[in-house]
């Protein structure tokens, strides 16, 4: 059994932080960030928590789907920056929207939404679950080192969500984890145990950009190619690719490896930067609401991130 997407929703905070704003905080420039990353501005939460943003995206997805919160059978939220470890972000959203179903969080860093969507598809295939809300939500600004110019210029806050049910849209998926690399890590925090002999890292994003970059280009292209081969289509038959909005050069190199024009890749990196697990669902929601999708379109979604990990799927609209 496969799934179909009934509705999508997204939310980004109002506060805009431009590259020029950042160049007054760390040694960087609009020119460097635009050319090396592709971000012009990002949204940064001032007062809104990750669950505030997730709640708004969830309501929008439910409204688009025509599904009431009471009829949800499951909520899965992907996040690395939940307001609390427990209750989970999903549990907070469940309470806020007035749902009564089981709800849990899942972490596969920036690939998290793809892992959550595939997990939701597996629950539906198992039977007994009809309507599932899948969320990617991050207040990643809370765990950035705002003195580290190699990370703080890349990311932004936001949330995206989809409501799914049994159907036949989900043609293929691919999940990948390479646990041998610590190129992208977020230590869980120091605590104040008097018993630890070794220093434990602080709760901040730490990244080896070049290693992550190389992994990303290879994985995005390989994952898409493998899924296309599996379902017997050529990559040219893909109408759209909705990639993780991490770096415009990664997207460009992925397009070249696949031999696809860049116009097929949906992009909003210039406006939002990398919103981690919210990146793909925010982008997908914008694509859906743009009215550009036609029945039968083949859409690949793909993401990568800490783990290192990557996740991708192909759906038929």
Alpha carbon distance 221, 270 (integer Å): 22
In angstroms, the Cα distances linking 216 to 30, 235, 242, 268 are 24, 18, 14, 18
Sheet holding 309-316, edge to edge: 170-177, 309-316, 298-305, 240-243
Minimum distance from residue 205 beta carbon to ligand UT7 (Å): 8
Stretch that binds ligand UT7, among 92-100, 187-195, 202-210, 264-272 (CB under 6 A): 202-210
Choice from 79, 108, 274, 283 touching ligand UT7 (CB under 6 A): 274
CB distance 132 to 65 below 8 Å = no
Stretch that binds ligand UT7, among 29-37, 114-122, 133-141, 262-270 (CB under 6 A): 29-37
Choice from 147, 180, 210, 290 touching ligand UT7 (CB under 6 A): 210
Alpha carbon distance 12, 76 (integer Å): 19
For position 37 contacting ligand UT7 by CB under 6 A, the verdict is: yes
The residue with its CB nearest to ligand UT7 is: 209
Alpha carbon distance 160, 60 (integer Å): 9
For position 107 contacting ligand UT7 by CB under 6 A, the verdict is: no
> In the annotation, is 274 catalytic?
yes
Structure tokens at 142: 């809370």
For position 102 contacting ligand UT7 by CB under 6 A, the verdict is: no
In angstroms, the Cα distances linking 256 to 242, 249, 287 are 15, 10, 22
Would you say 28 or 119 has its CB closer to ligand UT7? Answer: 28
Q: Which of 110, 228, 254, 302 is catalytic?
A: 110
Would you say 36 or 225 has its CB closer to ligand UT7? Answer: 36
Minimum distance from residue 31 beta carbon to ligand UT7 (Å): 9
In angstroms, the Cα distances linking 208 to 118, 180, 192 are 28, 14, 27
> In the annotation, is 47 catalytic?
no
For position 39 contacting ligand UT7 by CB under 6 A, the verdict is: no
Alpha carbon distance 44, 58 (integer Å): 19
Stretch that binds ligand UT7, among 26-34, 63-71, 90-98, 220-228 (CB under 6 A): 26-34
> In the annotation, is 244 catalytic?
yes
For position 110 contacting ligand UT7 by CB under 6 A, the verdict is: yes
Would you say 22 or 62 has its CB closer to ligand UT7? Answer: 22
Stretch that binds ligand UT7, among 10-18, 62-70, 169-177, 206-214 (CB under 6 A): 206-214
Q: Which of residues 152-171 bind ligand UT7 (CB under 6 A)?
A: 153
Q: Which residues bind ligand UT7 (CB under 6 A)?
A: 28, 32-33, 36-37, 110, 149-150, 153, 207, 209-210, 212-213, 216, 246-247, 274, 305
């Amino acid at each position: 059994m496969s799934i179909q997407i009934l509705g999508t929703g997204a939310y980004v905070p109002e506060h805009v932080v431009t590259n020029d704003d950042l160049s007054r905080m760390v040694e960087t420039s609009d020119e460097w960030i635009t050319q090396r990353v592709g971000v012009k501005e990002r949204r940064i939460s001032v007062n809104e928590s990750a669950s505030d943003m997730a709640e708004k995206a969830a309501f929008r997805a439910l409204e688009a789907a025509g599904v009431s919160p009471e009829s949800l059978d499951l909520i899965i939220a992907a996040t690395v920056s939940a307001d609390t470890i427990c209750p989970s972000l999903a549990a907070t959203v469940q309470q806020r929207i007035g749902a009564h179903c089981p709800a849990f969080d899942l972490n596969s860093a920036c690939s998290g939404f793809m892992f959550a969507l595939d997990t939701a598809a597996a629950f539906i295939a198992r039977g007994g679950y009809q309507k599932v809300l899948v969320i990617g939500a991050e207040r990643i600004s809370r765990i950035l080192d705002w003195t580290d110019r190699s990370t703080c210029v890349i990311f932004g806050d936001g949330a995206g969500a989809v409501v799914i049910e049994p159907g036949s849209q989900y043609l293929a998926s691919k999940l990948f984890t390479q646990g041998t690399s610590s190129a992208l890590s977020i230590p869980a925090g120091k605590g104040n145990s008097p018993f630890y002999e070794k220093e434990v890292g602080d709760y901040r994003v730490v990244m080896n950009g070049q290693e992550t970059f190389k992994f990303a280009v290879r994985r995005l292209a390989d994952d898409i190619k493998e899924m296309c081969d599996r379902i017997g289509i050529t990559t040219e038959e893909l109408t759209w690719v909705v990639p993780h909005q991490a770096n415009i050069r990664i997207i460009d190199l992925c397009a070249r490896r696949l031999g696809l024009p860049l116009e097929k890749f949906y992009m909003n990196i210039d406006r939002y930067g990398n919103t981690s697990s919210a990146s793909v669902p925010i982008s997908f929601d914008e694509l859906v609401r743009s009215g550009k999708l036609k029945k039968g379109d083949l859409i690949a979604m793909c993401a990568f991130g800490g783990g290192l990990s990557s996740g991708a799927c192909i759906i038929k609209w």
